[in-house]
Amino acid sequence: MTKGRARWLLLGPAGLWYAALLVLPLAVVLVYSLGERAPAGGYAPALTLAQYANLGSRWAAFQNTLLLAPAGTLAALLIAYPLAYFLAVRANPRWRTLLLVLVIVPFWTSILIRSYAWIFLLGGRGIPALLSDLGLGDIRLINTPFAVLVGIVYGYLPLMVFPIYVSLEKLDKRLLEASSDLGAAPWRSFLQVTLPLSLPGVATGSMLVFILLMGEYLIPQMLGGGKVFFVGNALVDLFLQSRNWAFGSAMAVTLVAIMLVTVTLYMRFLRRIGAARDDTGLM
């Protein structure tokens, strides 16, 4: 009895936190998503699925998000892995801390300021001017999906580097020696020992970056010039410009649902990989 009460008491703060800051707001959004736009904008109570039926009109925003978020995650992974590997395995331990700090340093400046820098770098007088001096003709980068991709990879790279770094840094070097003693070439040791053991870091980093990218607003706004629209941008428009709270809520619910499904599938996929690896390990 007292044991049970103590358990509830201990769960209390966390439970309250979840109820007040997660369940309640989500419930509000869910209820709003079944409503209508008030005549002068805002929310009017109703019980209709009309907002969900209208989701098709924002297909492009979903398409951009569902294409660029995974693409950005993959690109960040491909760049972050070698970097993390170098930091954890190859870098001189004397320099390691300094190098790690250098990865964090950009975080000291707001992403907004850094995105501004990219506006100028990718703008007509930046990289395109350089390329045209090299004889590559009229190349336009700013306000394209490519610019947005550059921005998100740049902005979120450290979030990918650190989890991978941690999993590589923990790696037991004796396993590599064993692999080498047993005659495996370095690349084979990497594929069969290092890579599988760093997968948890890869999974964490990818998940972190992917989830943040799905809700991204700032970078498409700044580097996409209002032309490369994410769901986040469409949402802001619905609440601040067309003031259609009901439709905005329906979009938000849909985004949350898509993320729940993809993240669940991703977890299951990782678990299956893990299981398959354990099986082969036994053979």
Asked if 238 is part of the footprint of other proteins (rule: CB under 8 A), the reply reads yes
Q: Choose between 96 and 243: whose C-beta lies nearer to other proteins.
A: 243
Asked if 125 is part of the footprint of other proteins (rule: CB under 8 A), the reply reads yes
Asked if 57 is part of the footprint of other proteins (rule: CB under 8 A), the reply reads yes
Distant-in-sequence, close-in-space partners of 166: CB < 8 Å, separation ≥ 6: 201
| Window contacting other proteins (CB under 8 A); options: 26-34, 57-65, 151-159, 253-261 | 57-65
**Which residues in the 34-53 window bind other proteins by CB under 8 A?**
37, 39-42
Q: Choose between 143 and 206: whose C-beta lies nearer to other proteins.
A: 143
Asked if 61 is part of the footprint of other proteins (rule: CB under 8 A), the reply reads yes
Side-chain-side CA neighbours of residue 163 (13 Å): 17
**Which residues in the 206-225 window bind other proteins by CB under 8 A?**
218, 221-222, 225
**Min separation Cβ 226 and other proteins, Å:** 3
Q: Choose between 97 and 132: whose C-beta lies nearer to other proteins.
A: 132
**Min separation Cβ 117 and other proteins, Å:** 11
Asked if 118 is part of the footprint of other proteins (rule: CB under 8 A), the reply reads no
Asked if 124 is part of the footprint of other proteins (rule: CB under 8 A), the reply reads yes
Asked if 58 is part of the footprint of other proteins (rule: CB under 8 A), the reply reads yes
Q: Choose between 110 and 264: whose C-beta lies nearer to other proteins.
A: 110
| Window contacting other proteins (CB under 8 A); options: 78-86, 93-101, 137-145, 183-191 | 137-145
Residue-by-residue DSSP string for the chain: -HHHHHHHHHHHHHHHHHIIIIIHHHHHHHHHHTSEE-TTSBEE----SHHHHGGGGGHHHHHHHHHHHHHHHHHHHHHHHHHHHIIIIIS-HHHHHHHHHHHHGGGGS-HHHHHHHHHHHHSTTSHHHHHHHTT------TTSHHHHHHHHHHHHHHHHHHHHHHHHHT--HHHHHHHHHTT--HHHHIIIIIHHHHHHHHHHHHHHHHHHHHT--HHHHHHSTTTS--HHHHHHHHHHTS-BHHHHHHHHHHHHHHHHHHHHHHHHHHHHHHHHHHHHHH-
Residues near other proteins (CB under 8 A) are: 37, 39-42, 57-58, 60-61, 112, 116, 119-120, 123-125, 140, 142-143, 218, 221-222, 225-227, 229, 233-234, 237-244
